[in-house]
Structure 1
């Protein structure tokens, strides 16, 4: 009755766990660890993790999570490590694929409310037919057919099509206006096509080796090769639409998948088939500048697929973008689940 156990596991996760692997993927496995097996656990700032957890836990519908959120709200922040150790258990979720951790950030673009000779590239809202279609026009068809024009779908116009392309990859950002004010935009939908990496395409063409590719490298190449660069961006058929997010204060992070602000270096984008949104996640990132930190799963991303795949939020602006672009490291991530849910994932004789 292995299929039944997987179904029960999915219910225990409460976030659409991956029940039936497809395309020959390995079956998902769950291993309970002790907190002593989490490298660097005692040295982390658990109070900061508790603050990030409280940012989204109030929105969780499940009774188990709601009860824990209530306890977290009444928790002495100085005793945050004890709170996580008392009410959670670490579960290592694996699907056979190696761990990969990357970074993301909130970009800042230059733009205006009205088009001009400088600001020529529109940031679009999602048209109703795209929302209804599920899968709509590809990036190429959407941008070359004229279907978006003269419909009042523009939020703003920006001065750089390459930055606009990467704004779509990040899913949120700020547009700085000529008068010094800014517009904050968040994810507002997509055209339903699968994201295809332009970095991998440059590697496939032999332009770069895999270790050379970063957002900054891609931007420079596209700008040095404008015609070939424009065609390269069309390699990705996915197109992201935006919505204006005026209620988020400038001091707070952008909205994540839970419609709450994400926190710099405490929020993770994860694959919710394996990691419940809102759950604490212990991150052990290796490579340059190793990271041992309790994060909160508060976002998702079109390129984030797999049990050991995550994106670390680095903050807003160019400096954050540089740091996020450097990150492409191995390691492992361990999700912290409420005790009863953790045991529900394990064999009966555990």
Structure 2
């Protein structure tokens, strides 16, 4: 399981009931400026378990000639470490050319390589629905310590020794308040955080980076480590945003990550009660951050690339497949209303999955890490058209 729950997605699931990696469903909100993609062509098609691929032309893909494919190429090479079925020969060539080949030869030369080797297919549902939904996720970047103090008093834990022997395992409240629960996680602390909302953030997201303020790198800066998903307590996930709405803290329309933080700051005595509303606890393993420019491993088992990796339903799109996205950039309100929508049209790699990334035309866009990525992920709820690119020599 990797990055299985997007915190802002789960808030959206409460606020607007939009499909997210953590569940929920709603009609897709149409965004002004979205092209709806080209009309679905008639012609040969391929069937997947949950999708129909209809043969298309390069001219059907809005914005195809404008994408900076040299930036996409390294994500392809990463994915070729574990190639999809039918990709072995092309992946051998991509690895031989190397991850910097795209930057060396330029976008147009990469485009020529892609058009020569691959065939575009428009993705639709089995019933022919060609529009879907794009959401976003990210990797939190938090501050922590190896040892607790008066400020850093909220731990993240390694998996308890008996985690697999008892299902479900102790709930969040039981781990914190019962002798048996406390004993199960005693001495299993990985790092300590300063804010219980940061604990919630990384547990819901499933992975994160932590800047250790009491451990320095050889360069004298705080060491940054990655905490990767290592299991959970098999308790059901419950949205704290949903709980807060039920408590009257705000309305469904107002539910957001900033709204949760504001409520917690105004009601510090009730934060524990809010946290206990979500009985699921995620456990972590520490990994060295050997490649700071790469994200955590996705479900394909390769590092995610910000802006070029997506999560998909593998019954619709095999992991390791290039996917052309036609959507719009997330927007924020400004004085006078919403600004005109700008296109988000680019080639990405299907390298991850999610428990609620389900259906044919459905993708979760990996924005990266840190505060800006959090903000972008929280605003991403866009209509989507998508095409897969498949080797011409493969069935």
Q: Would you say 1:325 and 2:378 are equivalent positions?
A: yes
Query: More deviation in 271-280 or 218-227?
Result: 218-227
Could you tell me how far apart the structure 1 residues matched to 2:315 and 2:279 are?
24
Q: Pairwise mapping of residues 30-45 of structure 1 onto structure 2 (< 5 A)? A: 30-45=53-68
Kindly tell me: are residues 272 and 124 of structure 1, through their superposed partners in 2, closer, same or farther at Cα, counting changes over 3 Å?
A: farther
**After superposition, where does 1:93-242 map in structure 2 within 5 Å?**
93-94=124-125, 99-131=132-164, 135-146=168-179, 147-149=181-183, 151-179=186-214, 180-202=222-244, 207-242=249-284
Separation of aligned partners in 1, 2:251 and 2:387: 31
- TM (norm. structure 1) is 0.79
Contact 1:89-1:338 within 8 A present in 2 as well: no
> How many angstroms does 1:273 deviate by?
3.1
Deviation, 1:244, is 0.4
CA distance in 2, matches of 1:194, 1:49: 37
Displacement of 1:284 in angstroms is: 1.6
Q: Where does residue 304 of structure 1 map in the other structure?
A: 357
Distance 1:294 1:113 in 2: 40
Deviation of 1:125 after TM superposition, in Å, equals: 1.4
Equivalent of residue 319 in structure 2, options 269, 277, 281 = 277
Q: 1:201 offset after TM fit, Å?
A: 4.9
User: Would you tell me which structure has more helix in proportion to its own residues?
Assistant: 1
Asked if structure 2 preserves the Cα contact closer than 8 Å seen for 1:138 and 1:193, the reply is yes
Secondary structure in 2 matching 1:49? helix
**Greater CA drift, 142-151 or 214-223:** 142-151
> 1: CA distance between counterparts of 2:382 and 2:198?
24
Q: Which stretches in structure 1 are left out of the alignment for 5+ residues?
A: 1-7, 11-16, 19-27, 345-350
Q: Tell me the distance in 2 between the aligned counterparts of 1:273 and 1:135.
A: 28
- Work out the CA distance in 1 between the residues paired with 2:60 and 2:240: 38
- Measure, in 2, the Cα distance between the counterparts of 1:123 and 1:228: 20
2:113 aligned to which of 72, 83, 103 = 83
In the alignment, is the contact (CA less than 8 A) between 1:99 and 1:331 conserved in 2? Answer: yes
Alpha-carbon spacing, 1:152–1:210, altered in 2? closer, same or farther (3 Å):
same
Return 5+ residue gaps in structure 2 as ranges: 1-45, 215-221, 332-341
* Deviant stretches of 4+, over 4 Å: 95-98, 132-135, 200-211
CA shift, 1:229, in A, is 4.4
RMSD of aligned Cα (Å): 2.9
Structure 1 residues 237-246 or 81-90, which shifts more? 81-90
- When the two structures are aligned, how many residues end up with a matched partner? 319
What is residue 21 of structure 1 aligned with on the other side?
none
